[in-house]
Amino acid sequence: MTAAFRLSGPRPPEGAVRQEDLRDLNLKVVFQHILDAGRPISRTELATATGLTRPTITRIAEELLAGRLITEKGVTHNGRAGRPRVGLTLSDRGPAGLGLDIRADGLAACVVDLTGTVRHLTFAPMPPTGRDAEAVLGSLIRMGCEAIEAVTAKELTVVTATLAVPGPVDGGVVRIAPALGWRDVDAGTFLADLGVPCVVDNEANLAALGELYAGDDPLGSFLYVSGGLGIGAGIVLNGSLMRGARGWSGELGHVTVEPEGAACACGSRGCLETYASTGAILGALRGAPDRTDARDSAVPGEAGDAFERINPDSVITSRAEAADPAALVALDRAGSALGIALSGAVNVLDIDSVLLGGSFALLSSWLTDPVRAEIDRRVLTASWSPVTIRPTLLGPDAAVIGAALTSIDQIRRRPTTWLARQS
Ligand SMILES: [Zn+2]
CA distance 116 to 215: 12
- Taking the centre of ligand 1 as the mean of its atom positions, its distance from the CA of residue 346, in whole angstroms, is 20
CA distance 417 to 221: 30
| pLDDT over 70 at 271, yes or no | yes
- Taking the centre of ligand 1 as the mean of its atom positions, its distance from the CA of residue 265, in whole angstroms, is 6
- pLDDT value, residue 120: 96
Measured between alpha carbons, how far is residue 161 from residues 53, 201, 306 in Å?
Answer: 37, 11, 32
State in Å, rounded, how far the first CA of the chain is from the last one.
Answer: 60
- pLDDT value, residue 329: 95
Task: Sheet containing 173-177: give its strands across.
Answer: 169-170, 173-177, 182-186
- pLDDT value, residue 107: 93
Average of per-residue pLDDT across 352-366:
93
- Taking the centre of ligand 1 as the mean of its atom positions, its distance from the CA of residue 255, in whole angstroms, is 7
- Taking the centre of ligand 1 as the mean of its atom positions, its distance from the CA of residue 4, in whole angstroms, is 44
344 falls in which pLDDT band (50, 70, 90)? Answer: very high
- Taking the centre of ligand 1 as the mean of its atom positions, its distance from the CA of residue 189, in whole angstroms, is 29
* Residue type present at position 42: S
| Burial class of residue 261, CB neighbours in 10 A (0-12, 13-18, 19+) | middle
Mind listing the pLDDT tens digit for each residue in 192-201?
999 999 999 9
β-pair partners for 170: 173
| pLDDT over 80 at 6, yes or no | no
- Taking the centre of ligand 1 as the mean of its atom positions, its distance from the CA of residue 230, in whole angstroms, is 10
- pLDDT value, residue 85: 74
| pLDDT over 80 at 70, yes or no | yes
- pLDDT value, residue 213: 86
User: Taking a C-beta distance cutoff of 8 angstroms, is the pair 231, 276 a contact?
Assistant: yes
- pLDDT value, residue 230: 83
- Taking the centre of ligand 1 as the mean of its atom positions, its distance from the CA of residue 231, in whole angstroms, is 10
- pLDDT value, residue 16: 58
What percentage of the chain has pLDDT greater than the value 70? 87
User: Taking a C-beta distance cutoff of 8 angstroms, is the pair 340, 367 a contact?
Assistant: no
- pLDDT value, residue 295: 40
Which has the closest alpha carbon to 222: 206, 211, 231? 211
- pLDDT value, residue 422: 80
| H-type alpha helices, 43-129 | 43-50, 54-66
Which has the closest alpha carbon to 398: 81, 108, 73? 108
- pLDDT value, residue 77: 58
CA distance 263 to 265: 7
- Taking the centre of ligand 1 as the mean of its atom positions, its distance from the CA of residue 251, in whole angstroms, is 9
- Taking the centre of ligand 1 as the mean of its atom positions, its distance from the CA of residue 269, in whole angstroms, is 7
- Taking the centre of ligand 1 as the mean of its atom positions, its distance from the CA of residue 173, in whole angstroms, is 21
- pLDDT value, residue 226: 92
DSSP character for 218?
A: T
Which has the closest alpha carbon to 233: 278, 178, 167, 296? 167
Helices and strands of the chain, counted as H and E runs: 14, 16
- Taking the centre of ligand 1 as the mean of its atom positions, its distance from the CA of residue 395, in whole angstroms, is 25
* Contacts with 285 (C-beta within 8 Å, 6 or more apart), sequence order: 299, 315, 316, 319, 326, 327, 330
* Residue type present at position 220: G
DSSP character for 269?
A: B
For residue 15, the tally of other CB atoms under 10 A from its CB is 5
Q: Pick left, alpha or beta for residue 140 (phi over 0 → left; psi -120 to 50 → alpha; otherwise beta).
A: alpha
β-pair partners for 354: 223, 389
76 falls in which pLDDT band (50, 70, 90)? Answer: low
- pLDDT value, residue 310: 60
Average of per-residue pLDDT across 97-101:
96
| H-type alpha helices, 187-311 | 187-190, 203-214, 273-276, 278-285
Strands 173-177 and 182-186, bridge-based pairing: antiparallel
- pLDDT value, residue 78: 56
| pLDDT over 90 at 267, yes or no | no
| pLDDT over 60 at 9, yes or no | no
* Contacts with 157 (C-beta within 8 Å, 6 or more apart), sequence order: 68, 94, 95, 96
- Taking the centre of ligand 1 as the mean of its atom positions, its distance from the CA of residue 229, in whole angstroms, is 12
Torsional sign, CA 86, 89, 92, 94? positive
CA distance 369 to 360: 13
75 falls in which pLDDT band (50, 70, 90)? Answer: low
- Taking the centre of ligand 1 as the mean of its atom positions, its distance from the CA of residue 79, in whole angstroms, is 61
- pLDDT value, residue 14: 54
User: Taking a C-beta distance cutoff of 8 angstroms, is the pair 70, 34 a contact?
Assistant: yes
The overall average pLDDT reported for the chain is 86
Burial per residue of 189-202, b for 16 or more beta-carbon CB atoms within 10 angstroms, e otherwise? ebbeebebebbbbb
- pLDDT value, residue 125: 87
**Selected residue with higher pLDDT from 279 and 109:** 109
CA distance 271 to 95: 43
Average of per-residue pLDDT across 139-146:
96
Average of per-residue pLDDT across 395-422:
89
| Burial class of residue 334, CB neighbours in 10 A (0-12, 13-18, 19+) | buried
- pLDDT value, residue 287: 64
What percentage of the chain has pLDDT greater than the value 90? 60
- Taking the centre of ligand 1 as the mean of its atom positions, its distance from the CA of residue 271, in whole angstroms, is 5
382 falls in which pLDDT band (50, 70, 90)? Answer: confident
Measured between alpha carbons, how far is residue 46 from residues 5, 22, 94 in Å?
Answer: 42, 17, 21
- Taking the centre of ligand 1 as the mean of its atom positions, its distance from the CA of residue 278, in whole angstroms, is 14
- Taking the centre of ligand 1 as the mean of its atom positions, its distance from the CA of residue 100, in whole angstroms, is 27
**Selected residue with higher pLDDT from 216 and 92:** 92
- pLDDT value, residue 3: 47
Mind listing the pLDDT tens digit for each residue in 196-247?
999 999 999 999 999 998 877 777 899 999 998 789 999 999 988 998 888 8
* Contacts with 304 (C-beta within 8 Å, 6 or more apart), sequence order: none
Give the CA radius of gyration of the chain: 25
| pLDDT over 80 at 151, yes or no | yes
User: Taking a C-beta distance cutoff of 8 angstroms, is the pair 395, 314 a contact?
Assistant: no
**How many residues are given for the chain?**
423
| pLDDT over 50 at 176, yes or no | yes
- pLDDT value, residue 141: 96
Query: Which residues place a Cβ less than 5 A from the ion ligand 1?
Result: 254, 264, 266, 268, 271
